[in-house]
Structure 1
Amino acid sequence: MSSVRVSETWANDDFAGEIGRTYRDSRPSWPAPPPTGSLPNVMFVVLDDTGFGSLGCYGSEISTPAIDRLAREGTRFSNFHATALCSPTRASLLTGRNHHNVGLGYLSHVDDGYPGYRGQVTHRAATLAEILVDHGYNTMAVGKWHLAPMDQTTAAGPYHQWPLGRGFERYYGFLEGLTDHYYPELFSDNHAVEPAASPEDGYHLNSDLVDTAIGFVRDQTSVAPEKPFFMYLAFGATHTPFQPPAEYVDRYSGVYDAGWDEIRRRRFERQVELGVVPPGTELPPHNEGVEAWDALSPEARRLYPKFQEVFAGFLEHTDRELGRLLDYLESIGRLDDTMVVLVSDNGASQEGGPHGVLNTTMYENGHLPGLDENLARITEIDGFTTHVNYPLGWAEAANTPLKRYKQNTHAGGIRTPMIMRFPGSVPEGEIRDQFHHVTDIVPTVLDVAGLDAPTTYRGVDQLALDGVSIRATLESPDDAPRRPAQYFETLGHRAIWKDGWKAVAYHAMGTDFDDDVWELYHLDTDFSECHDLAGAHPDLLAELVAAWWAEAGRNGVLPLDDRRFAERSALNVRPDSPRNRSVFTYHRGMHHLGSAAAPMVAGRSFEIRAAVGRDAPSDNGVLIAHGSVNSGYCLMIDDGLLVYDFNYYGSHTVVRSDIPVPIGEAAVAMRFDKNKDDTSGRVRLFVDGDEVGSGSLSATFEHLVAFQGLDVGADGLSPAREGGNGRYPFAGRMDRIVVEVFDDTEPASSDVGSTSGGTR
């Protein structure tokens, strides 16, 4: 037989062999694998809401030996900047582009309808995972994602903005901005999963994430040790809710009785001693709303330390789990060939208000508890039964010595810890004080690996990188070129850095943007932004403000928007969103549904109805539940009665039917009619169309029901119902349940309790 070359009509361009009539007269060929021998492993470790002064190696008294080890064996950065919020920073960290430029000027919950605020990363900006996987890397993401539109994080997708849609081959974690660390909303690859154990069995999300990260690397190393990996490990800590195991809280008992002024002073002195803050830096006066510790009442001084004890335990526990991962990488010989980058996504959170909160939903709806309210619940500040965030004074101390907080573009919101460790390429035990930005990380990784950013990816033309490599700063800090200008914007707060100067404007929510006052600081000599030089250098300030507007136009920052998260996520609903309907029919057996895809019943009149079947008086249980111990609602049959439990920030109003739900078939319904002038209203219960119970709610949620989502036929994860213990699944028959949300400008329907769409 004569040998023939393969027909070009179906040839693979990489095929260099010959194809004959049989294998005997053919010559095989295989594509050459990507050269990976010299490529480093890469691991990003992302902390959440961890302020500049919170880590031991940045001056804190909190025990962080694993992170301190990275600093000791690598380089700390004292002039590193992120954005002032989580989703935007993560978008910039993974793409090397400015956050508005890629479509994430705000959180992934919100698509404002403008290019800079799409709530997702444009495919014109390939992620580092997408780039590295094409160069032979195995790519793994573990932990918080918060980069997919939150109403698309359901079984209906679309999945193109989930981790596996953006270059990661494996994923395990949570897609929301926060989650309960004992009852997390978990996903594995592209599907939802239940936690592997209960908190009673010792489950904690930090440990679960690190176990998974170790498992991913162990599997990869066992099969293909020659291949590099990229691990993106994003802890939920130290974002609220602060939830450490009890023994970690106990370690800090009494430590913070000295108060935030003393802790802040000690941290500041230690920072100067360590060299992460330059000599001559001044400690700024208190931020607005923070009182001197000695001026507080004895009750306040008894209450406030409890919040900080829980935070400190949370951070130490997170560090312990990170240490397990570092130890594992070292034990298999892969730590020293791994470039480790540890960052915080923004500064410490101001979302605990002046007295701290035991409920994150309360803040998002514009409510903050008073001192007396928190004092009455002081025993619940334990990291388990409530979702804790600390008072402003502790957030200020967490950001020592910087002004303001997360959300703000003063240094407390955007200057964050950053540590790099990579023996041979990153100096050991040194500090760099050159200005750098989160967009610089991707260019640095590509530079060290000797790779180029693609100009097209999967046929899509790519945006140019906005960041620059840090490599020159690492190798020759005195000769490294100064980075170009960098703008900042979050919730109307604005800033720009250029040539060591910074112009910054604080924006009060709801006020006219034109009334904002621009300040001017020379950061090369004023690390903590203590001396406003706007009056002394008006021409320079005007130049910088003009530069900010130019950057805003170039990066898609406009239009400015200062509305709260809950308000924006409730009002701005895309036409194709699963929430953009008034009637929701949920089938029993569906998996837990995230809150961002659940019906928007907050601030609205609505009805829940279902057809049920009971064969015995014991056929009780939950029909539908939305929320957690902090907030939400639950409709159930309990002790034979139809029961609606409204959980208003942990305070329950329970409405019960006057008569039992009959044995056999029945149509049950709950109707809430909101009053016209506020969020109060009336609850009515129906069985077979007859009203069987009612009650009043003095207030309901304005915008957000809860961060934890919805379950049908049970109360899953953290229980929304009062005294909830376990899922309490409905023991009777129910195929589906309907939630209908009403337009309160239209007259209410008269067929309350109809089983339309809710038959078994």
Structure 2
Amino acid sequence: MNMKTNMVVVCFVATGVLASGSALAQQRGDDYEIDRSVLPIQEPKRPTYSELDARNVKAPPRFEVKAPKGAPNVVIVLIDDIGFGGPSTFGGPIQTPTLDRLARSGLRYNNFHTTALCSPTRVALKCGRNHHTANAGSIMETATAFPGNTGQIPNSVAPLAEMLRLNGYSTGAFGKWHETAAWETSVSGPYDRWPTHQGFDKFFGFIGGETDQWYPLVYDGVTRVAPTKMENYHFTTDMTNQAIGWIKAQQSMTPDKPFFAYYATGAVHAPHHVPQKWIDKYKGKFDKGWDKIRAESIARQKKMGIIPAETKLGKKPDDIKDWDALSSDEHKLFARQAEVFAGFLEQTDHEIGRLVKAVEEIGEMDNTLFIYIAGDNGTSAEGGFVGMYNEMTYFNNVTEKVEDLLPLIDKWGGPETFPHMAAGWAVAFDSPFSWTKQVASDFGGTRNGMVVHWPNGIKEKGGIRSQFGHVIDIAPTILEAASLPEPNSVNGTPQTPIEGVSLLYSLNDAKAKERHTTQYFEMFGNRAIYHDGWLARTLHRAPWQALKQKPLKSDVWDLYDVREDFSLVNNLAKKNPKKLKELQALFMKEAEKYHVLPIDDRVIERVNPALAGRPDVMAGRTSLTLYDGMNGMLENTFINVKNQSKTITAKLEIPKDGASGVILAQGGRFGGWSLYMKDGKPAYTYNFLGLSQDTIAAKDKIPAGPAEVKLDFKYDGGGAGKGGKATISVNGEVVAEGRIKKTQPLMFSADETADVGLDNQTPVVEGIGIGREETRFTGKIDKITVEVAEVK
């Protein structure tokens, strides 16, 4: 063989099934074929040479994986906790001008569904399989030991980002993640299910389910970003700046390489944090109450053609009071809550507008498949009947009262609150449906407005698409749009086939026959089955019912013909029992197939890993030794000190001029505890949900030199959330003691951490400061030991 002409020709031509250079290879006498169904794409065999001098040989072309010619950029925008009837684009009362604008030149989907909860929707969105197939039956913090619910995404369901990255895309994720197993968030990892190991080259955002928008817990890749005190800081603005910067830089460096940007806001999930100027835009606009807002929304939806003209307003849940039956104080409080929430959504849409403008500025909007999903589930009713100053009260079974919340109205939405609104607003913003987030058996929990914008791929402007769609359809839609096949193997692991159906068929044909004809729904016992225009469902529990539920076998099922009944108001179960029985059997078949069974309807109990049966980094540990520099430890990876006695022993070195700052803290402004020194004196504060504080403090300063500071807390016992006696001793001598009246039984925070030598984010104790440096311990910490002992 003549080595002068022996070169490997690599040609990437996407066919939708197999992208290969086989024809050209055969023409040249090569046998190399590119196969995109196996990822990463295998490199060709390297040629060997017998020629001594490189001058006499032409080098082969460089092997390079490129996306198929014409493959579009992809942007997925996912808003958190907003339902179908919230945004103005779908007839709601909250202005979303960016979504409106994209809809006018793109398509609105009015029959698109999610899973009714955060993590499951996000996982399903990015892998194209049902959430139970991906072990994400519920949020990661309530994972169990059963397949379908373990919270550990298997390698056999590779995410879309990894498929695109291995096919020549640049990939970046910004904002909320909430897809990492709770026990995999410590410094020990593993990092397999963190964004940068799930297909993303770049990640800037938070790992858990929510974060303080003023003082967020942020990671860049796997590195925690140190919080800083900044004027006018807001996380949604920050993540938008990061996304814009990444897209522009990526296109500057590699303009021929398409990008995939996943932009998932923490908004409008609680805490509802938003600058005052956005709240002011809605002043007085919700004084009319949730009943009139619902009525006005359904009227707009009909007028806009978003829903059929004959649609009836779904019945409001019995537990939600009529607005006219509420007191003037309730009117005042609840209207303010809605103003804050509405401002939060419009601010979020504004930031998305900045992202759109950036893509336009670099000339890439026409070739960008822009998918804007308004909600990962219905609007949240987790605020209970009166709302919450601190959302963590929900996770600790503490009910807040109107009289306690009224004095906080002017602060609502600002840094001094961690708020959620009353459930009546959730029902209103899910119009025309009855129910809300968590209710997977009602379209109020699963129906979310979606806009698809792609000038190069969509002919019609301003159209409406009504084919049934589900979040698992997004991944196959993008693969088809990019002319990429579904991979059979990714990183050496055979793949579970994608279970979604591409929606590309509907982009240019409003009357195209529906292709996604069967879909189950299940969340905490609420379950349903859609099949060929019919929906059978059972309402097992309301979102505000967090404790013991009725037996699953006692549930009563309803039946609806959704082709004629958009809002699920005409129950046909008695008229057509045969169809109902048929669909119930189909649900059980699908549930068994996709690992939905057995169903676990527990909610708050599953926050406790011992009760849920999932792995726990600290399982069985009664002692933990900590060292200076160990901070940012999330609650699921720190020793559990709740509902038991604890002893904290700190070996310190006190400088000549005394010491101040945090020795060890867990939690923040809205709940937690801190062992610290102030003006040279040791102190301990227990902050109960930001509602009350108990502090014990020594009267005298600790002299310079080595010192052992010990906090001993003797728990009362007799159940969860009880109080106890706290004692501080220095070098074996008691210097302070007192009562801690009550403690948090289940959770301190979703994003605040345990920190040695400082208090990250918001402070457990006001007056020590905000931010790392202001709370940093000024002495030396040799080590700290935390010991716990169960009390019966």
For the superposition of Structure 1 and Structure 2, which TM-score range results when normalised by the shorter chain?
Answer: over 0.9
1:386 touches 1:629 (CA, 8 Å); kept in 2? no
2:597 corresponds to 1:558: yes
Q: Residue type matched to 2:679 in 1?
A: D
Match of 1:500 among 514, 528, 533: 533
2:360 corresponds to 1:320: no
Match of 2:428 among 397, 402, 405: 397
Q: Residue type matched to 2:687 in 1?
A: N
Equivalent position of 2:518 in the other structure: 485
Equivalent position of 2:472 in the other structure: 439
Superposition deviation, residue 63 in structure 1:
2.0
Q: Distance in 2 between the 1:604 and 1:425 partners?
A: 60
2:565 corresponds to 1:522: no
Match of 1:587 among 613, 620, 627: 627
2:144 touches 2:606 (CA, 8 Å); kept in 1? no
Deviations 1:416-466 (A, max 9, x none): 111111114233201112211101111111112111111111121111111
Q: Secondary structure at the match of 2:644?
A: coil
Equivalent position of 2:708 in the other structure: 667
2:759 corresponds to 1:715: yes
Q: Distance in 2 between the 1:149 and 1:447 partners?
A: 30
Q: Secondary structure at the match of 1:313?
A: helix
Q: Secondary structure at the match of 1:735?
A: strand
2:65 touches 2:166 (CA, 8 Å); kept in 1? no
Structure-2 change in CA distance of 1:620 and 1:91 (3 Å): same
Structure-2 change in CA distance of 1:210 and 1:548 (3 Å): same
Equivalent position of 2:726 in the other structure: 683
2:68 touches 2:482 (CA, 8 Å); kept in 1? no
Q: Residue type matched to 2:333 in 1?
A: L
Q: Distance in 2 between the 1:538 and 1:696 partners?
A: 61
2:534 touches 2:563 (CA, 8 Å); kept in 1? yes
Deviations 1:162-204 (A, max 9, x none): 1111111111111011001111111111211124x534x2211
TM-score, L = length of structure 1 = 0.94
Q: Distance in 1 between the 2:279 and 2:709 partners?
A: 45
2:117 touches 2:138 (CA, 8 Å); kept in 1? yes
Equivalent position of 2:682 in the other structure: 642
Structure-2 change in CA distance of 1:19 and 1:675 (3 Å): farther
Equivalent position of 1:730 in the other structure: 777
Structure-2 change in CA distance of 1:40 and 1:299 (3 Å): same
Q: Residue type matched to 1:338 in 2?
A: T
Deviations 1:209-239 (A, max 9, x none): 1111111111111111000111011100000
Equivalent position of 2:577 in the other structure: 538
Q: Distance in 1 between the 2:388 and 2:629 partners?
A: 35
Equivalent position of 1:293 in the other structure: 323
Q: Secondary structure at the match of 1:605?
A: strand
Superposition deviation, residue 401 in structure 1:
1.0
Match of 1:415 among 447, 459, 463: 447
2:788 corresponds to 1:741: yes
Equivalent position of 1:756 in the other structure: none
Deviations 1:648-690 (A, max 9, x none): 1112111223544333221111122222213322222222233
Superposition deviation, residue 148 in structure 1:
0.8
Q: Distance in 1 between the 2:201 and 2:605 partners?
A: 32
Q: Distance in 1 between the 2:790 and 2:129 partners?
A: 41
Q: Distance in 2 between the 1:215 and 1:579 partners?
A: 42
Q: Distance in 2 between the 1:183 and 1:573 partners?
A: 32
Equivalent position of 2:389 in the other structure: 358
Equivalent position of 1:373 in the other structure: 404
Superposition deviation, residue 723 in structure 1:
4.4
Moved more, 109-118 or 210-219: 109-118
Moved more, 423-432 or 490-499: 423-432
Superposition deviation, residue 576 in structure 1:
6.4
Moved more, 162-171 or 255-264: 255-264
Superposition deviation, residue 578 in structure 1:
4.7
Match of 2:506 among 460, 463, 473: 473
Q: Residue type matched to 1:729 in 2?
A: R
Deviations 1:147-174 (A, max 9, x none): 1112312322111111111111111111
Superposition deviation, residue 574 in structure 1:
4.7
Q: Residue type matched to 1:733 in 2?
A: K
Q: Secondary structure at the match of 2:74?
A: strand
Q: Secondary structure at the match of 1:403?
A: coil
* Structure 2 gaps, min length 5: 8-41, 542-547
Q: Residue type matched to 2:747 in 1?
A: L
Superposition deviation, residue 378 in structure 1:
2.6
Q: Secondary structure at the match of 1:291?
A: coil
Superposition deviation, residue 612 in structure 1:
1.4
Identity %: 36
1:97 touches 1:466 (CA, 8 Å); kept in 2? yes
TM-score, L = length of structure 2 = 0.90
Superposition deviation, residue 275 in structure 1:
1.3
Q: Residue type matched to 1:642 in 2?
A: P
Moved more, 240-249 or 281-290: 281-290
Q: Distance in 2 between the 1:675 and 1:519 partners?
A: 48
Q: Residue type matched to 2:500 in 1?
A: G
2:246 corresponds to 1:203: no
2:416 corresponds to 1:385: yes
2:503 corresponds to 1:462: no
How many pairs align? Answer: 740
Q: Distance in 2 between the 1:335 and 1:566 partners?
A: 46
Structure-2 change in CA distance of 1:547 and 1:663 (3 Å): same
Deviations 1:484-531 (A, max 9, x none): 210011111111111111111111352211111111121111111112
2:269 corresponds to 1:269: no
Superposition deviation, residue 12 in structure 1:
6.6
Deviations 1:515-564 (A, max 9, x none): 11111121111111112221111111111111111111000112211222
Q: Distance in 2 between the 1:222 and 1:605 partners?
A: 57
Deviations 1:337-379 (A, max 9, x none): 1101111210110110000001121101122212222124333
Q: Distance in 2 between the 1:579 and 1:37 partners?
A: 51
Q: Secondary structure at the match of 1:742?
A: strand
Moved more, 218-227 or 720-729: 720-729
Q: Residue type matched to 1:91 in 2?
A: V
1:666 touches 1:688 (CA, 8 Å); kept in 2? yes
Q: Residue type matched to 2:757 in 1?
A: G
2:170 corresponds to 1:138: yes
2:683 corresponds to 1:652: no
Q: Secondary structure at the match of 1:686?
A: strand
Equivalent position of 2:261 in the other structure: 231
Moved more, 388-397 or 186-195: 186-195
* Structure 1 gaps, min length 5: 746-760
Deviations 1:277-301 (A, max 9, x none): 2111111232132111111011111
Q: Residue type matched to 1:37 in 2?
A: K
Kindly report the root-mean-square deviation, in angstroms, between the aligned alpha carbons of the 2 structures: 2.1
2:162 touches 2:199 (CA, 8 Å); kept in 1? yes
Q: Residue type matched to 1:690 in 2?
A: E
Q: Residue type matched to 1:153 in 2?
A: T
Q: Distance in 2 between the 1:663 and 1:161 partners?
A: 46
Moved more, 16-25 or 325-334: 16-25
Q: Distance in 1 between the 2:733 and 2:576 partners?
A: 74
